[in-house]
Amino acid sequence: MSTILVAGGTGQVGTPTVGALRAAGHDVRVLSRKTGPGLTTGDLITGTGIAEAVDGVDAVVHVATTNGKRDIVMAQNLFDACLSAGVAHVVIISIVGSDAIPLGFYGQRVEVERRLVASGLPYTIQRATQFHSLVNALFSGQRFLPMLFAPALSFQPIDVRDVGQKLAELAGASPSGRAPDIGGPEKLTASELGRVWKDATGSRRRIVRMRLPGKTFAAFAAGHNLVDGPSFGRITFASYLAGKYHA
């Protein structure tokens, strides 16, 4: 089996990715700014410790993200270190529709993709749909409102455990460039997802469907955040909520 470094291995995507890689028998290094048992210490923003972290690994999975220019800096520092170390495969996570939906964070992911392609490193880019946690936050963030507002668009949310499994599979295989996009098992309107959320949380508030102005809403409404063809994910939004609110 391979030695694989997971950058962002303690985060919401990194944790299940590390678990899936270890279950497959790989030797996994978990990159973190913290120091502790089972961690490989390094700072992607300053670059400190990154050369040592990637030394001798067969592949790197990059799932560490943040808002703003630091996202690009982290990726570039990692790619530079991987190139110097001769890493044979770099896998990154990105977002379905990121090149069609005009959100700042989505644009960052497109730039990270572009820099990886331009680096000359052997790579795999995996785009995934929005996570269950984002849809949950859409509704839980309205806890002080008298009604539950649902935008007039659809989502295909995917569980991070399904994403982690896919990233682990890709990291253990040969570089494949841009991998087919993956999405969750259901395409549901925000109103339908709101009803699922209400059932899970016991909320009795009325759902109000609303349209929003602007290019970003139009891009979501056009379905650029959805995946054509068969879904990859198996864990539904209802199952995710059951584990979160009733575990």
Q: Check which CATH number belongs to the domain holding 107 and give it.
A: 3.40.50.720
Residues of the chain above pLDDT 90, percent: 96
- Asked if residues 8 and 28 have their Cβ atoms less than 8 Å apart, the reply is no
Q: How do residues 85-107 score in pLDDT, each as one tens digit?
A: 999 999 999 999 999 999 999 99
Q: What are phi and psi of 122, to 5 degrees?
A: -65, 130
Query: Would you place residue 246 in the very low, low, confident or very high pLDDT band (cuts 50, 70, 90)?
Result: confident
Residues 177, 32: Cα–Cα separation, whole Å = 26
Domain count, the chain: 1
Mean pLDDT across the stretch 187-210?
97
Residues of the chain above pLDDT 70, percent: 100
Q: How do residues 122-141 score in pLDDT, each as one tens digit?
A: 999 999 999 999 999 999 99
Q: What is the pLDDT of residue 92?
A: 98
Domain carrying residue 16: 3-245
Q: How do residues 152-175 score in pLDDT, each as one tens digit?
A: 999 999 999 999 999 999 999 999
SS3 164: helix
Residues 58, 167: Cα–Cα separation, whole Å = 15
Hey, what amino acid is at 225? N
Residues 97, 215: Cα–Cα separation, whole Å = 13
- Asked if residues 103 and 32 have their Cβ atoms less than 8 Å apart, the reply is no
DSSP 118: H
Instruction: Examine the pLDDT at 247 and tell me if it is beyond 80.
Output: no
Q: What is the pLDDT of residue 52?
A: 98
Mean pLDDT across the stretch 203-227?
96
